[in-house]
Amino acid sequence: MTGVAAGADAFRSLRAEIEASILPLASSLDGRRFSFQAAVEGLALRTGGYVTLERDGASALGQVRSLELTEVDMGELGLGAAEGGSGELRARVPIRLARGHGVVLERDSPPFHDRLARLATAHEVEAWLTRSAPARAQLDVGELALAPGTPATLDAGGFDRHTFLCGQSGSGKSYSLGLLLEQLLMETDLRLVILDPNSDFVRLPEAREGLTPRLDGLWRGLAGGIAVRSASGAAGSRLRVRFGDLAPATQGAVLRLDPVADREEYAELAAVVADGRHESLRDLADAERDGARRLTLRVRNLGVEGWGVWAREEPGSVVDALDDPAVRCLVIDTGSLATREEQALVAEAVLRGLWDRRAARRPVLLVVDEAHNVCPASPEDPLTALATEHAVRIAGEGRKFGIYMLVSTQRPQKVHENVLSQCDNLVLMRLNSSADGDFVAERFGFAPPGLVGLATDFRLGEALVAGKLASHPAVVRFGSRVAQEGGGDVDSGWAARRP
């Protein structure tokens, strides 16, 4: 046993000596991608982290995109004399080391061989970000999670491409989305239209306490251009639509009329509305037409006349606010509506309204929160089907008219594929489901799979940002909000420890 124990000790000692001698070296054949190896003990490199690659006075900043533990068989090595001098102890020695791949972030870097790879400092990363920043507005969103102390900024001009924001419930998705919208309001002139199904942005005009005087004054100056439309709003700010202003297809969908299967009632509805005297559902009962009674019965049986979203005697509708030059940001609080049907109606009316105004070419960011309800992969009712149709059209053709989308959801596989496929930016927060992670990696090929795989371990407020709005695929930690946060979870004080 003594000889065996001595041999084991010699084996461990030899392996540790060889592993400790492994230098963190990187090589690149094209100056754009590099591979490297490093000792496992004390490894400071992380997937998504930043490295400085240097040799003979030349250096370049790189980012690790993949990292794995591997073993290399060093063959049979001698471990010293066997017990009693009966020969030499020999054994096969597998060596453990870290291997990975990355990209060179510096432009025009030449190929290189055996450059030393070390953890980049925050100063080195920030210096590169400053050099590579475009001459456009930069959005200060927090810091780089894998280079602590380095500010994280996004290119405001990148929002002229559609953006997909995804995160599990509890990942900080709504808070982070609010931060992005605040930065766009403060740093750009882009208009915002927000479909808000959870009332998360109804307090957007209100500044948070504790802001610096500069930020507080800036936000209060912007607040006058933020209009919130809610079902419980006061006169002039109540969320409402007028039946007579809806498109014929939308009116038919409200009454669940199919233009073919219900062709007689559908035609009668069109005729009643076309005479200009009957602009509300209540007016249908007064229409002097034989078919009006059937329509009235349908309205009563469906209960749609009782929806709180109808304007009734009030003038105008939420769609009119799309034309108001004084409204820089329109928050449409669909979460305040009593029924799912009313939410779908408002979403459809707003999406159609934006598309109908496309010829104006006035840039606007359309924010669709909880998009799996607005433009689902498989719409289950006529109003949602119409809303999905408009969302797909805007996703495919809206950019050339200045209509950009920011689609947010916690259920990526439930959003219509033709909306997702048009998104060129990704903001990915924590995902508990590996299936969702695989889905995102497959749909958004510009996001490195190794970095997408980090999403299951993201902390609150952390996200992978990739696409035109980022200088490189980066893991960021979102910072503090400027405006008050609406919505929010129910307080969990019931779980406090009893005295």
Residue entry with tokens 């005009």:
205
Q: Specify the DSSP class assigned to residue 29.
A: S
d(CA 78, CA 81): 8
Give whole-number Cα distances, 420 to 250, 280, 487, in Å.
24, 36, 26
Residue entry with tokens 């309800």:
373
What is the pLDDT averaged over residues 163-192? 96
The contacts of residue 40 (CB under 8 Å, 6+ apart) are 19, 69, 96, 97, 98
Q: Specify the DSSP class assigned to residue 488.
A: -
What is the pLDDT averaged over residues 129-152? 94
Beta bridge pairs of residue 195: 332, 368
Range with the lowest mean pLDDT among 158-167, 243-252, 308-317?
308-317
Q: Under DSSP, is residue 94 helix (H, G, I), strand (E, B) or coil?
A: strand
Residue entry with tokens 């219509």:
416
Least Cα distance to 122 among 144, 142, 138, 153 occurs for: 144
Least Cα distance to 461 among 444, 480, 474, 448 occurs for: 480
Least Cα distance to 66 among 90, 34, 97 occurs for: 34
Q: Specify the DSSP class assigned to residue 214.
A: H
Strands 50-55 and 58-81: antiparallel
Beta strands in 24-124, from DSSP E residues, in sequence order: 25-28, 33-38, 50-55, 58-81, 88-104, 112-119
d(CA 321, CA 229): 9
Cβ–Cβ under 8 Å, residues 382 and 259: no
Residue bearing the bigger pLDDT, 402 or 97:
402
What is the pLDDT averaged over residues 283-311? 78
Residue 1 pLDDT: 44
Q: Which domains does the chain have, with CATH numbers?
A: 2-120 (no CATH), 138-241+314-487 (3.40.50.300), 245-306 (no CATH)
Is a pLDDT exceeding 70 seen at residue 6?
A: no
Strands 191-195 and 364-368: parallel
Give whole-number Cα distances, 151 to 130, 140, 435, 457, in Å.
10, 7, 32, 21
Cβ–Cβ under 8 Å, residues 151 and 143: yes
Least Cα distance to 115 among 23, 27, 20, 21 occurs for: 27
Query: Based on C-alpha coordinates, what's the Rg of the chain?
Result: 30
What is the pLDDT averaged over residues 19-34? 88
Pair of tokens at residue 128: 């590169």
Which of the four pLDDT bands, split at 50, 70 and 90, describes residue 244? confident
What is the pLDDT averaged over residues 20-48? 88
Cβ–Cβ under 8 Å, residues 129 and 472: no
pTM confidence score? 0.88
> How do residues 285-295 score in pLDDT, each as one tens digit?
565 666 677 78
Exposure string for 388-406, b = 16+ CB within 10 A, e = fewer:
bbbbbbbbeebbebbbbbb
Cβ–Cβ under 8 Å, residues 392 and 418: yes
DSSP helix, strand, coil percent of the chain (3-state; round to 5)? 40, 25, 35
CB atoms within 10 A of CB 362: 15
**Average pLDDT of the residues of the chain:** 88
Cβ–Cβ under 8 Å, residues 329 and 225: yes
Most confident of 4-8, 78-82, 286-290: 286-290
Query: What whole-number percentage of the chain has pLDDT above 90?
Result: 66
Most confident of 5-9, 76-80, 144-148, 313-317: 144-148
Instruction: Classify burial at 419, counting beta carbons within 10 Å of its beta carbon; exposed 0-12, middle 13-18, buried 19 or more.
Output: buried
Pair of tokens at residue 46: 């992380």
Which of the four pLDDT bands, split at 50, 70 and 90, describes residue 478? very high
Most confident of 84-88, 132-136, 187-191: 187-191
CB atoms within 10 A of CB 149: 11
Residue 271 pLDDT: 75
**The Cα angle at residue 121 between residues 118 and 127, in degrees rounded to 5:** 120
Residue bearing the bigger pLDDT, 498 or 326:
326
